[in-house]
Chain A
Amino acid sequence: MSDVILELKDLHTHFFTDGGEVPAVDGVSFKLHKGEVVGIVGESGCGKSVTSLSIMQLVPNPPGKIVRGEINFKDDNLVNFREKRMKQIRGNEIAMIFQEPMTSLNPVYTIGNQLVEAIRMHRKLSKNEARAKAIEMLQLVGIPRSDEVIDEYPHQLSGGMRQRVMIAMAMSCDPEVLIADEPTTALDVTIQAQILDLMRKLNQEQDTAILLITHDLGVVAEMCDRVVVMYSGQVVEEGTVREILKDPKHPYTKGLIRSLPKIHEKEQKLYSIPGTVAKPTMDATGCRFAPRCEFAFDRCFKENPELYQLANERSSRCFLYDNEERGVEEHVQTDSRG
């Protein structure tokens, strides 16, 4: 498709720690189209943040480093960019907001100071024009008394307000892509809904493509067009929201969906996938999910499954979708229905 704005191709980001090399992002590929909202889901530690920081070229180095792969943004591969050109991309064409609104703003400068810096970094505006633009942005993200808030310090605002400021800052140069790394995880439920509403509004009105990182399938259901499911540094399933929620293919995705609380359920106890996320290691053999997978069979412990394409932008990293194993898949299908 021609309207792809961001494409990751076989991205590998590793950490070189005292305990050895950690392939935190281990061959991740996906596409983001213009104006689209794509969710990246997966349990904590599966490599979502490292993936998003890799796109921004902000992985702490040392210990982290992109060792292989491409990050194609429009016509360029960002991996080849030097810091100087990357600076022109960050905040200007690709902006990012983070999980921790309480600590993401510099405590010793006013909101206005930090917003004006972001605006003047990429736009040739005078201080006064930038300030006017900053106030306008604060209004846009629904901050009341924005002409006063602009001269306040972060500690004078609530967490929800600070996240709005972060969004205002990220949107101030009309980026084409907004990466939101768990933007609502640290906020309480009502504030969370407001922030998501705001992001949806920005997506629709400004046509900004959003890469929404979350571990919450509820947020995904509400916000996203397509979903990429990650497990232990790898993409394990990809599809539209409808496909993923109604017809998950990968046993891990099935588990995630089963563990969602359901309103009409009689059963009180929530399902949770047994075991814990496997930490990515360099010498892993077999399917990363095998130790926790109820469908695992011999082959799963010996070979690492590839990402089997099921349809266009619909895939699953599981041997059950290998043509050779077709028989087994039918078995699984009946099994999960019954």
Chain B
Amino acid sequence: MLAYTTRRLLIMIPVLFGMTLIVFSIVHLIPGDPARVILGETATEQAIADLRESMGINRPYFVQYGIYLADLAQGDLGTSLRTNKSITSEIGPRIAATFELTIFAMIFAIIIGINAGIISAWRQNSWFDFSAMIFALVGVSMPVFWLALMEQWIFAQELGWLPSSGRQSSLDPIEPITYFFVLDSILHMDFERTISVLKHLILPSVALGTIPMAIIARMTRSTMLEVMKSDYIRTVRAKGSGQFLVIYKHALRNAMIPVLTVIGLQTGVLLGGAILTETIFSWPGIGRYVYEGINYRDYPVIQSGILVIAFIFVIINLIVDLLYAYIDPRVKY
């Protein structure tokens, strides 16, 4: 396992370099004058000259790339053109917000998706199986923004059970520590606030988690059905083990191998691409940060946002690969 982990970590080095090179190229290899493109046609000559200076555009590309890497190594993601603040300090809380939402959405998706898949496979062709699979089919084909708006309308506006947007009630903002508000409120020993923060998480988590849940349920069902037919399951039953052990010990662990891939991919998608949901629920996450950057032609923000999202993808891939090795002993060789 150690050798495998080391090998897997070493593979990441060229991947990370490649990523920075691509992200660097996005801005620095724009045809024409990058500073002029970035600032737009109405910019003054002075502003353009200033930007050229601060971007170091007059120097050779590899020198510029070297400077870029050196900055990154120090945790410096550059400065936002719009707010003139350090992107590193702006993006931190955004990442935390997105992570918190993604974690809750995926917990919802995984717990319901896997169990629905298991029961559907176990009771194949039962009414539960049929309704779960119809629900899953609707789930994967439902537009997320529509689901989000419906949720807001029913549960916030009409029933008034849950807050419709934001991470917390705006009247009484939290003193952030980790920027994971559930964790922060617990650290503050303020459990009333924990409840409130959790309530804010419900609607966006369900909106974001529905598609992954449906995909996970379908995948779990089909791999469970496949695994349940295998010879080793017959062996387990032949030695007198009960249904629970057969399903949750022997079948599930094998069925998880392909399901894990889906979970990893979906987590990556949520972390990187939840722009629409984050906008509808006024969730100050990374997706919205990049989206705002695009609106304001804030190239350093776009660049850094993409880099961070790509980095998150790489990390999730790493975690999935390590989990593979943990679940399946054959992977290590």
Known: A108-B327, A155-B329. A58 touches B237 (CB 8 A): yes
Q: Determine if B239 and A95 form an interchain contact, defined as CB atoms under 8 angstroms apart.
A: yes
- Cross-chain contact of B250 among A60, A89, A106 (Cβ < 8 A): A106
List the B side residues contacting A88 at CB < 8 Å. Answer: 240
Q: Contacts of A90 on B, CB cut-off 8 Å?
A: 237-240
The distance in angstroms between the C-alpha atoms of A169 and B239, with both chains bound, is 8
Nearest residue in B to A88 (C-beta to C-beta)?
B240
- Number of A interface residues, CB 8 Å? 30
- Of B8-16, B138-146, B226-234, B271-279, the stretch lying at the interface with chain A is B226-234
- Closest CB-CB distance, B120 to chain A, in whole Å? 15
The answer to whether residues A121 and B232 also contact, given A153-B329, A153-B330 and a CB cut-off of 8 A, is no
User: What's the Cα separation between A90 and B230 when bound, in Å?
Assistant: 18
Query: Cβ of B243: which chain A residues have Cβ within 8 Å of it?
Result: 83
Question: How many whole Å from A106's CB to the nearest CB in chain B?
Answer: 4
A56–B238 CB distance below 8 A = yes
* Total A-B Cβ pairs within 8 A: 74
Asked whether A231 is an interface residue with its Cβ less than 8 Å from the other chain, the reply is no
B186 in the interface (beta carbon within 8 A): no
Asked if A92 is an interface residue, CB under 8 A from chain B, the answer is: yes
Q: How far is the CB of A166 from chain B (nearest CB, A)?
A: 7
- Docked complex: A70-116 residues within 8 A CB-CB of B: 83, 87-92, 95-96, 98, 100, 103-109
State whether the Cβ of A118 lies closer than 8 Å to any Cβ in chain B. Answer: yes
Looking at chain B's contact residues, the main secondary structure is helix
Are A108 and B253 within 8 A (Cβ)?
Answer: yes
Q: A153-B330, A155-B329, A155-B330 are in contact. Are A104 and B240 (CB under 8 A)?
A: no
Are B231's CB and A117's CB within 8 A? no
A91 touching B253 in the complex, CB below 8 Å, given contacts A107-B330, A153-B329: no
CA distance A60 to B228 in the complex (A): 10
Interface residues of B in 282-333 (CB under 8 A from A): 327-330
**Minimum C-beta distance from B73 to chain A (A):** 40
In the complex, residue of chain A having the shortest beta-carbon distance to the beta carbon of B238: A96
A33 within 8 A of B: no
| B242 CB within 8 Å of chain A | yes
Task: Name B245's closest neighbour in chain A (CB-CB).
Answer: A117
* CB within 8 Å of A: which B235-277 residues: 235-243, 245, 250, 253-254
Q: Is the CB of B232 within 8 A of A105?
A: yes
**Which chain A residue has the least Cβ–Cβ distance from B254?**
A108
Contact A166 B235, CB 8 Å, known A88-B240, A90-B240, A122-B240? yes
Flag if A107 contacts B240 (CB, 8 Å).
no
Most A-side CB within 10 Å, residue of B236, B238, B327: B238
A107:B238 contact, CB within 8 angstroms:
no
Chain B nearest CB, measured from A171 CB (Å): 11
Residues of B within 8 A of A100 (CB): 231
Q: Beyond A91-B239, A103-B232, A107-B328, list 13 extra A-B contacts (CB 8 Å).
A: A58-B234, A87-B242, A90-B237, A90-B239, A90-B240, A91-B240, A95-B239, A100-B231, A103-B230, A106-B232, A106-B233, A107-B330, A169-B239
Q: List residues of chain A with CB under 8 Å of any chain B CB.
A: 56, 58, 60, 83, 87-92, 95-96, 98, 100, 103-109, 117-118, 121-122, 153, 155, 166, 169-170
Cβ-closest 10 pairs across A and B: A91-B239, A91-B240, A90-B240, A103-B231, A118-B239, A106-B232, A153-B329, A96-B238, A104-B231, A87-B240
7 pairs across A/B with beta carbons < 8 Å? A91-B239, A96-B238, A106-B254, A109-B250, A117-B241, A122-B240, A153-B329
